Copies of this chain bind each other. A is one copy, B any other.
Amino acid sequence: MKTTILLFFAMMLGSMCFAQSLPAVIEDFKPTPVNQPGREYPQVNSEGRVRTQISAPDAKYVQLDIGGKKYDLVKDEKGVWTGESAPQDIGFHYYQLNIDGASVPDPGSLFFFGACRWGSGIEVPSDDQDIFAKKDVPHGHVDEIFFPSKSTNSSPRAFVYTPPGYDKETSKRYPVLYLQHGYCENETSWPVQGRANFIMDNLIAEGKAKPFIIVMTYGMTNEIKFGGLRDFDIKPFQTVLVDELIPYVDANFRTLADQSNRAMAGLSMGGFETKLVTLNKPEVFSYYGLFSGGVYNPEEVKEHSKLKLIFLSCGSKERPDGVKNSVEALKGAGLNAVSYISEGTAHEFHTWRRSLHQLAQLLFK
């Protein structure tokens, strides 16, 4: 009897383990919006599994490297390897292939800058992907600019989103959001995988956001080593941003060039930078946004007389309590503070696209 029960439990355990290690894969894979032109792979299914395929007839092994795990692909008789990952969170993920020990981009996908490199990215569909879709609405422009920077003796690149109609209405002036990427990303991250321009085009078309300019430049984040965040010196970037980029933008775009029409926000390390810059320079911005990028306590901003809004957000799979508690404390101190928790997402771009979508509806009103 005892043996029978033990055997029964062993069988249960065995079948559970089997079920966990070899779950049935739902065969509804489709090519994604980030595939290279004409490429059938990568594909994603309704569970969020990523499947890829590559011809490598002489390879010993090929793996899909995504979300910190490597998944073995299987070779067919023609030397074509195919395989898929476990389900991934909705949203955007960087990935690569491992071919006999070589980490390389998947030639089937478009390439994005993240993880400190240009490489493959994949879009796992979400119910609310409509917020960043390219729709049949008037589109703003994204200008690539190179602005003079004496402090770095260079001409750094920035991207400037101007809303629909900007070029036609040649006398109207607009408020400006300075929007920062995270560690190991760069100035392309928000206008490309962040889809900041399409988020704004859609909100403006729906009448939900006031038209404003967004400026996205490189936050000088990627030279520091992991673990070196505490020693990070904001001064070099702060000088580029406040003393060089803002004057250039105000001189070359039709901005409302005063504090009450200027916002700064950033994701992850870009949020950390936003916090440092806004605390060091309380006279420059009136709206502060940290996306998965820390919090403010009331003591830090009590002297900020022209502060109009603090917006704090993160994914529900991060630490939402920290964000919520901070906003409660800020409100308790009489400040206009808003929290936003992105349901079902972690520390990745879908959290931040949603955060921009929320913040944009609150700015400059």
Contact = CB atoms under 8 A, between A and B. Distances in A.
Interface stretch (A15-23, A138-146, A230-238): A138-146
B100 A100 contact: yes
B117 A107 contact: yes
Contact of A167 (B110, B144, B148, B252): B252
Copies, count: 2
Interface string A35-47: 0111000000000
Contacts of A57: 100-101
A136 interface: yes
Contacts of A119: 107
Contacts of A107: 96, 103-105, 117, 119
A164 to B, nearest CB: 9
A360 interface: no
A99 interface: yes
Given A100-B99, A104-B107, A136-B155, A61 B58 contact: yes
Interface in A53-110: 54-62, 79, 96-97, 99-105, 107, 110
Contacts of A148: 136
A116 interface: yes
Interface residues of A, number: 52
Interface in A112-146: 116-119, 134, 136, 139, 141-146
A134 B146 contact: yes
Interface in A143-161: 143-148, 155, 160
Main SS class of interface, A: loop
Residue of A99, A103, A155 with highest tally of chain B CB at under 10 A: A99
Contacts of A251: 168
Given A111-B111, A134-B155, A118 B36 contact: yes
Residue of A36, A102, A142 with highest tally of chain B CB at under 10 A: A102
A3 interface: no
A141 B139 contact: no
A134 to B, nearest CB: 7
A29 interface: no
A110 B118 contact: yes
A260 to B, nearest CB: 23
A305 interface: no
Contacts of A141: 143-145, 160
A222 interface: yes
A42 B111 CA distance: 18
A160 B141 CA distance: 10
Which 3 pairs from chain A and chain B are nearest by CB?
A: A56-B102, A139-B146, A58-B100
Given A136-B155, A144-B197, A168-B252, 18 more contacts: A38-B116, A56-B99, A60-B60, A96-B107, A99-B99, A99-B102, A102-B104, A103-B107, A105-B107, A110-B118, A134-B146, A139-B147, A141-B144, A141-B160, A142-B144, A143-B143, A170-B170, A170-B254
